[in-house]
Structure 1
Amino acid sequence: MAKLVGYVRVSSQDQEVNLQVDALEKAGCAINMVFIDKISGARSERPGLKKCLESLTSGDTLLVWRLDRLGRSVAHLVGLVEELCQKGIGFRSLCDGAIDTTTASGELIFNIFSSLAQFERRLTQERTRAGLEAARARGKNGGRKKISYTEPKILMAKNMHKDHRMDIKDICKTLKISRATFYRYVNLYDNHKNP
């Protein structure tokens, strides 16, 4: 049987969730079907949202108080709702009246949102490409600056690794570099000395 599943989020432990919970209950959502996160929306790990999404099945509707309670950004929100729609799950936002994918007009509004998010992604790509081309035209190349195998940190990493007395983890800690950087340094040195 189709059910209403609610999701509530506030940004910190100090904030109250009552306003959102009451609104969801008033809209017909059972209290045991309301999932709560007290965490910043910018965080990708949200346990309440994870449980909420896992509880939804085809025919259900996800209910939120406002759009910004669910998505970290327009693109994230669009991705979540598109994923729900593909699974046959509806989406409604109480304060954003026209956002209700269980109706034809709500679906149309959401498709406009989706198009705007796609447009935003394409504009960002075009601006990035134009910026790189302009930099190249001025003789600048993007990316990481080339380093020589004779750099002191590279030589130290290689020497520390050569005698095998130190663990790689300790070498990285001493030189304040990541494990990936350590291997890049050693490979750069080895490739130059043994072409």
Structure 2
Amino acid sequence: MEKQQRKKVKELEKLDKVKIGYARVSSQDDRQKLGLEVQTEALKNCDIIFSEKQSGDNDNRPELTNAILLAKQLSRQNKLVTLQTYKLDRLTRKMLTLANIIDDFNTHGIKLNSILENIETDSLTGRLLCLVLGYVAEIELDNIRIRTKDGLRKAKENGVILGNPSLTEKQELEILKQYQMNTIPISLIAKRLHISESSVYKVARKYGVSRRKNLKIPVKV
């Protein structure tokens, strides 16, 4: 836990009620515009917010651990503690993990609240709804994995080179040469040279060329 957070904890120990916020993003969430700024804005009424960039199927998350440990610490001091998250799958995408967290919180008298689903775990009905949504989140995670694997398989079948293999100077020069030809689409260059489209753009950026300028051939010193 950071020094600033430890100082904040000292202040929280003086309160009777404490609301702890937890926010999480992954690279996929970034593309979906579910950024930290959206979550932290929704959690602005919390007394302290823990945030991190981690996958939802990763149970080893430092900031989530810190948030849970703090919740337990304050609960042992007879504080009324709530851990609040913007959306339930921000906490985890695994139903078993969620069930363990809910059970642990229930044992320590800690309430879990999800803003988007409008669910609290201070009742049996609330805990049941959380588990149902946790099951849905896990199904969604499995579907994402399946779509990713299918996408990679189809890309390989279509001759797309995956990853970022090193290119020789000769290959880079050929990329730059064809890149200057405005009549040739990037997709065709990539297909001709058996590389990804992103590799074409990467080489162009590396040597500072555009499709409207003269070719800048790299010179060895």
Question: The residue matched to 1:95 in structure 2 has which SS?
Answer: coil
Question: The residue matched to 1:3 in structure 2 has which SS?
Answer: strand
Q: Is the 8 A contact 2:89 2:134 kept in 1?
A: no
For residue 100 of structure 1, what is the aligned residue in structure 2? Answer: 120
Q: Does 1:77 align with 2:75?
A: no
For residue 51 of structure 2, what is the aligned residue in structure 1? Answer: 36
For residue 46 of structure 1, what is the aligned residue in structure 2? Answer: 61
Q: Quote the Cα distance in structure 2 between the aligned partners of 1:19 and 1:4.
A: 18
For residue 18 of structure 1, what is the aligned residue in structure 2? Answer: 37
Q: Quote the Cα distance in structure 2 between the aligned partners of 1:85 and 1:116.
A: 18
- Any gaps of 5 or more consecutive residues in structure 1? 119-195
For residue 147 of structure 1, what is the aligned residue in structure 2? Answer: none
TM-score computed with the length of structure 1 as normaliser? 0.50
Partner amino acid for 1:23? A
Q: Is the 8 A contact 1:3 1:61 kept in 2?
A: yes
TM-align CA RMSD: 2.6
Q: Quote the Cα distance in structure 1 between the aligned partners of 2:133 and 2:67.
A: 27
Partner amino acid for 2:38? L
Q: Quote the Cα distance in structure 1 between the aligned partners of 2:52 and 2:129.
A: 28
Partner amino acid for 1:38? K
For residue 89 of structure 1, what is the aligned residue in structure 2? Answer: 110
- Any gaps of 5 or more consecutive residues in structure 2? 1-15, 136-221
Q: Quote the Cα distance in structure 2 between the aligned partners of 1:54 and 1:69.
A: 17
- Deviation track 1:86-106 (CA, whole Å, cap 9, x = no partner) reads 101011000001x1123x4xx
TM-score computed with the length of structure 2 as normaliser? 0.45
How big is the shift at 1:109?
3.1
Question: The residue matched to 2:42 in structure 1 has which SS?
Answer: helix
Q: Does 1:3 align with 2:18?
A: yes
